[in-house]
């Protein structure tokens, strides 16, 4: 069973004068509970891929299945529900509501879904991301590392099938990035939620078990990270050559 399955996805953007082919024939399978990463240079199409996989952007061709539900042809309302309940997203820029507290930000997706987040679940998430002592802090007063760990907890709040993260450590210092990766790994292992992490950083991608390389809009190879940044960096350079 796969948390996410993509087959032959493609995407182009059109301007008045030209067509930019950004993704070509992308197929990816993320098993339930797996931790995968997509790496690639700037402009390779990573963010576009994440936008397709999260249902934010329609693909031109191909099929996408999340949590056993095929997204192709879903109504806007069904897509919104699937995205809210089955997909957790972590953005580079955190995207917290600055005037709400850590706890309120984490509980927001559940509130929007009409079912307040149970206190025990909130406490478990706060503890999981190491922010129990910051629960009542206003988000705008958090450090970058704390803000991104709040965003992790928010992404896990609805017990999604998969977490998608686009360059989530891009605004963090290396120490906070390391804590971020350790937190994500811990939650992947304890909660069993699948993760697809997008990063161009070998150190960060090494947190994932399996890495897919995106080059010029196509997957050019996949390999096991061995949780070793130097292995990842070496394989990356070989496959990109």
Ligand X SMILES: Nc1ncnc2c1ncn2[C@@H]1O[C@H](COP(=O)(O)OP(=O)(O)O)[C@@H](O)[C@H]1O
Number of Cβ atoms within 10 Å of the Cβ of 121: 17
Choose between 42 and 77: whose C-beta lies nearer to ligand X: 42
| Minimum distance, C-beta of residue 215 to ligand X, in the bound complex (Å) | 10
Cα separation, 47 vs 215, whole angstroms: 13
Contact by Cβ (8 Å): 168, 96: no
Annotate 165-185 with b (16+ C-beta within 10 A) or e (fewer).
bbbbbbbbeeebbbbbbebbb
Instruction: State which of positions 15-74 bind ligand X (CB under 6 A).
Output: 20, 22, 40, 42-48
CA-closest candidate to residue 236, choices 196, 188, 204, 194: 204
Instruction: State which of positions 175-234 bind Mg ion (CB under 5 A).
Output: none
Task: Indicate which of ligand X, Mg ion, none lies near residue 20 (CB less than 5 to 8 Å, by partner kind).
Answer: ligand X
Choose between 129 and 196: whose C-beta lies nearer to Mg ion: 196
Instruction: State which of positions 71-130 bind ligand X (CB under 6 A).
Output: none
Task: Indicate which of ligand X, Mg ion, none lies near residue 45 (CB less than 5 to 8 Å, by partner kind).
Answer: ligand X
Choose between 2 and 91: whose C-beta lies nearer to Mg ion: 91
Rounded to the nearest angstrom, the gap between the alpha carbon of residue 79 and the centroid of all alpha carbons in its chain is: 17
| Minimum distance, C-beta of residue 13 to ligand X, in the bound complex (Å) | 3
Using CB under 5 A as the binding rule, whether residue 47 contacts Mg ion is answered as: yes
Binding mask 135-174 for ligand X (x = CB under 6 A): ----------------------------------------
Q: What are phi and psi of 29, to 5 degrees?
A: -130, 120
Tokens representing residue 89 in the block? 């997203």
Task: Indicate which of ligand X, Mg ion, none lies near residue 139 (CB less than 5 to 8 Å, by partner kind).
Answer: none
Choose the stretch contacting Mg ion; rule: CB under 5 A; options: 7-15, 27-35, 45-53, 118-126.
45-53
Choose between 28 and 107: whose C-beta lies nearer to ligand X: 28
Cα separation, 125 vs 190, whole angstroms: 11
Choose between 22 and 107: whose C-beta lies nearer to Mg ion: 22
Number of H helices, E strands in the chain: 8, 10
Choose between 3 and 214: whose C-beta lies nearer to Mg ion: 214
| Minimum distance, C-beta of residue 97 to ligand X, in the bound complex (Å) | 25
Tell me how many degrees the CA angle 177-178-184 measures, rounded to the nearest 5. 90
Contact by Cβ (8 Å): 82, 75: no
Residue 94 CB contacts under 8 Å (≥ 6 apart), including other chains? 144, 147, 148, 150, 151, 171
Q: Is 36 helix (H, G, I), strand (E, B) or coil?
A: strand
Binding site for ligand X (CB under 6 A): 13, 20, 22, 40, 42-48
Binding site for Mg ion (CB under 5 A): 46-47
């Amino acid at each position: 069973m796969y948390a996410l399955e993509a087959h032959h996805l493609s995407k182009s953007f059109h301007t008045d004068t030209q067509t930019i082919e950004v993704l070509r024939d992308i197929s990816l399978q993320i098993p339930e509970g797996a931790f995968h990463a997509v790496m690639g240079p700037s402009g390779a199409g990573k963010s576009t891929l994440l936008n397709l996989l999260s249902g934010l952007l329609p693909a031109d061709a191909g099929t996408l299945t999340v949590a056993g539900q095929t997204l192709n042809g879903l109504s806007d309302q069904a897509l919104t529900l699937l995205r809210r309940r089955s997909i957790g997203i972590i953005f580079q820029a955190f995207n917290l509501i600055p005037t709400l507290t850590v706890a309120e930000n984490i509980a927001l997706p559940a509130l929007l879904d009409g079912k307040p987040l149970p206190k025990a679940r909130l406490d478990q998430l706060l503890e999981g991301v190491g922010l129990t002592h910051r629960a009542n802090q206003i988000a705008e007063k958090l450090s970058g590392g704390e803000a991104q760990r709040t965003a992790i907890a928010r992404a896990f709040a609805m017990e999604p099938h998969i977490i998608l993260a686009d360059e989530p450590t891009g605004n963090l210092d290396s120490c906070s990035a390391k804590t971020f990766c350790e937190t994500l790994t811990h939650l992947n292992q304890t909660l069993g939620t699948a993760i697809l992490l997008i990063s161009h950083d070998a150190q960060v991608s090494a947190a994932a078990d399996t890495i897919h390389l995106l080059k010029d809009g196509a997957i050019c190879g996949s390999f096991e990270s061995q949780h070793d940044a130097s292995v990842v960096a070496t394989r990356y350079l070989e496959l990109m050559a």
